[in-house]
Structure formats: C-alpha cells, structure tokens
C-alpha cells in the first residue's frame, strides 16, 4: 500500500504527535508498505530525505502563526502525490486544507488528536473548513472513546469514527524497571514527564506538594512554562524537593520511570488528549495519578485499577491521591502490575499499527465502515 502522512513537523522535531507519526510510519515501512511523510521544513527550502525507510518531504516554510507553519509549497507537493491513503494528523489547518484542495489520494483517513482548545477565535474561523474536511474524509480515527463522546466536533461525526489508541514499545520501560534496585529511603518520589506547556497542570501539582512534606518531585522536560514554574517552586519553598532535569535522551528516560514511586499527569485542559507518558509509566509498573478531562487520560488510566483519577485543577484532591498511594506500597504494586498488563493487552505499537492498517484496508478495498468493536472498543 502507498501511504502518505500529512502534518506540520517530523523528526528531528520532538513532540507527542511527531513521535507518533514517526513510530507509525517506520513500522508501516518495516511491514513492506511504501510510506511518505509530508511536513513543513524548518526553513524556506523544500527537500526530500529518506529516514529509516520513510520518504520525508519537507515543504518550504514561509512563516509560523499561532504554532501553525505557513507553507505554499505544501499545496504544490501534495498535488504531486498519488497515494492509496492520505493520513492527516489533526489539528493542522494548512495540512487539512492542502489535502482538501489539492490531494489525489484514493482514500483519506484523519486522526483527530485534539479539539482546538486555546485558539478559540482561530478555531471558530476555521470551523467551516474543518466541517468540509471531515465531511470528505473516509474515516476519522480517535485515540479514545472518551474523546469521541466528549468532543463537540466528533460528536457530529460519530458514524465515521473508529477508536485506535496510541501505542508504544513497552520493552525498554519493562527492562529498566526490572533492573532497577531502589535505595533505602523514607520519602516518596513522584515523576512528571512532558513539555512544560500551559495545560500540563504542573502549577497545580506544586500547590499539592505544599501539603506533602516527605514527597519529592522530578520534572522531565522543558517548555514555555519552565521559568514560571521554577519560580513558583521557589516561592512555595519547594526548591529542595522539586528537581527540574530538562530534556532527557530517549535511551535514558526509562530509568527515570523505574526510579519513581508514582507517576503524575496533572493536566488542566482538554489539550491533553491522551497522555502517552502514562503508557510509559504503566509499562514500567508504576501507578498513575491523572486528572479527569473527558479525554483519553482517564481511558488509559483506569481509576481504582491502574491508578487514581482526580478532578482537574484541584490541588487538595491531587494531594489526597498522592497521600493514599504513598501510604500503601501494596496498592502501588498492584496498580503498577495492572498497568503493565493493560499496556501489553491494548497499547503496544504492534497493535496500533495493525489496527490502523485495518482501517486503511477497509477504506481502499471495500469502503465499508469499520465497526469500532472490531478493533476492541464499542
């Protein structure tokens, strides 16, 4: 099958969707498919490279507005492609418009990663085009049933939606956890991993730590909120218990998961649509605390089974959940084991790739709507 992925950025740009596309594209290429990725360049030059068996077209970028690269070359490049499947990652308005106006694919699949949450005016202006795009695509992939149910956009297109959760290779995280020997200590160590953006809720977690004098927190990642959150930790008197370690190479990251007692994803807005980092922590056998956003966070982390789910933007509830898990090592172990089993059962890269290819095959060969229950979700 000839597959074209469409988004704004690709490796070496690092981000949740960028990493997802890379994993998916390389795995599809490894299965013998012809795979291309069309994204924007970081400069004003169009070029084509082959990266790990994937043909990557970098279309010249003119500017970036509200995190969206502007590229006229993107429209020209997509006109030259004749794939069996065009797979759009949304939201990226220019990629969606390029496929809508100039695309020549036999079938179109769109993965709806998130509603447009923060740019409300931009989202309202783009909504008419988005409706036309969604009307034309053959299938819409959502990463959780929660998002289909709660999204004001997807609720209007439920008949086209298929749930295909994101997936990871759990092996590095399982291996690091098995090899780790915890030191003797009387403190609890929390871990947060992610880009330090407005919706991640680290400020709420810092407020919760004020109630937990024996708890330490390691924060892996950088981003626009780093300086403000460092200052907040100092102002709250938490500097000695909150450790900002910056970006961590992929091969070192599993050790951070192995060394923590509890993983916390305290996100405050629906921009947190899934939370792949939860899968990594679960693969390492760690219990999760996340927030209820009506998105995939509480689909991945099952409350009372693999961890605890608390209301968003509620420091007291977050502190109570941390205290509950801190006080019960057996509960942490049971939830960690359940999380590891859940990742192996539902969230591996292998399962994700197979499910996505099933959607493609149905679009190209029969045009019959894929029943979500066939993919394991009703």
Task: Quote the pLDDT of residue 120.
Answer: 60
Superfamily for domain range 171-346: Glycogen Phosphorylase B; (3.40.50.2000)
Q: Residue 14 — pLDDT band, cuts 50, 70, 90?
A: confident
Using alpha carbons only, give the angle 27, 59, 5 rounded to the nearest 5 degrees.
30
pLDDT tens-digit readout, 182-213: 777 789 999 999 999 999 999 999 999 999 99
Superfamily for domain range 2-167+348-375: Glycogen Phosphorylase B; (3.40.50.2000)
Mean pLDDT of 103-117: 92
Task: Quote the pLDDT of residue 121.
Answer: 60
pLDDT tens-digit readout, 227-244: 999 999 999 999 999 999
- Looking at the chain, the whole-number percentage of residues with pLDDT higher than 70 is 95
Task: Quote the pLDDT of residue 137.
Answer: 96
Mean pLDDT of 95-101: 94
Nearest to 127 by CA among 160, 151, 162, 146: 151
Residues of CATH 3.40.50.2000 domain(s) within the chain? 2-167+348-375, 171-346
d(CA 311, CA 331): 21
- pLDDT for 336 beyond 80: yes
- pLDDT for 376 beyond 80: no
């Amino acid at each position: 099958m000839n597959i074209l992925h469409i988004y704004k950025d690709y490796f070496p740009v690092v981000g949740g969707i960028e990493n997802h596309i890379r994993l998916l594209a390389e795995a599809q290429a490894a299965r013998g498919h012809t795979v291309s990725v069309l994204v924007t360049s970081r400069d004003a030059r169009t070029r084509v490279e082959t990266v790990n068996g994937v043909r990557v077209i970098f279309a010249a970028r003119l500017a970036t507005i509200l995190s969206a690269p502007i590229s006229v070359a993107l429209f020209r490049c997509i006109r030259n492609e004749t794939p069996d499947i065009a797979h759009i990652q949304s939201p990226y308005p220019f990629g969606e418009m390029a496929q809508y106006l100039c695309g020549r694919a036999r079938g179109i699949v769109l993965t709806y990663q998130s509603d447009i949450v923060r740019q409300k005016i931009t989202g309202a202006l783009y909504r008419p085009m988005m409706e036309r795009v969604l009307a034309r695509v053959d299938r819409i992939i959502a990463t959780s049933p929660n998002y289909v149910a709660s999204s004001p956009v997807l609720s209007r297109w439920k008949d086209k939606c298929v749930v295909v959760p994101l997936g990871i290779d759990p092996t590095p995280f399982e291996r690091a956890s098995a090899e780790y020997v915890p030191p003797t200590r009387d403190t609890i160590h929390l871990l947060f991993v992610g880009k330090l953006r407005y919706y991640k809720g680290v400020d709420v977690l810092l407020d919760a730590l004020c109630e937990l004098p024996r708890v330490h927190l390691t924060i892996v990642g950088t981003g626009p909120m780093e300086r403000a959150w460092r200052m907040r930790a100092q102002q709250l008197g938490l500097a000695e218990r909150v450790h900002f370690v910056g970006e961590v190479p992929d091969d070192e990251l599993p050790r951070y998961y192995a060394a923590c007692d509890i993983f916390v994803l305290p996100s405050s807005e629906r921009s947190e649509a899934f939370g792949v980092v939860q899968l990594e922590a679960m693969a390492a056998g760690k219990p999760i605390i996340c927030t209820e956003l009506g998105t995939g966070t509480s689909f991945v982390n099952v409350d009372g089974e693999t961890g605890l789910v608390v209301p968003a933007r509620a420091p007291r509830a977050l502190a109570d959940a941390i205290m509950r898990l801190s006080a019960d090592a057996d509960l942490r172990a049971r939830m960690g084991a359940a999380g590891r089993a859940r990742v192996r059962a539902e969230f591996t890269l292998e399962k994700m790739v197979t499910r996505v290819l099933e959607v493609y095959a149905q679009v190209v060969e029969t045009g019959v709507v894929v029943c979500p229950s066939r993919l394991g979700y009703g």
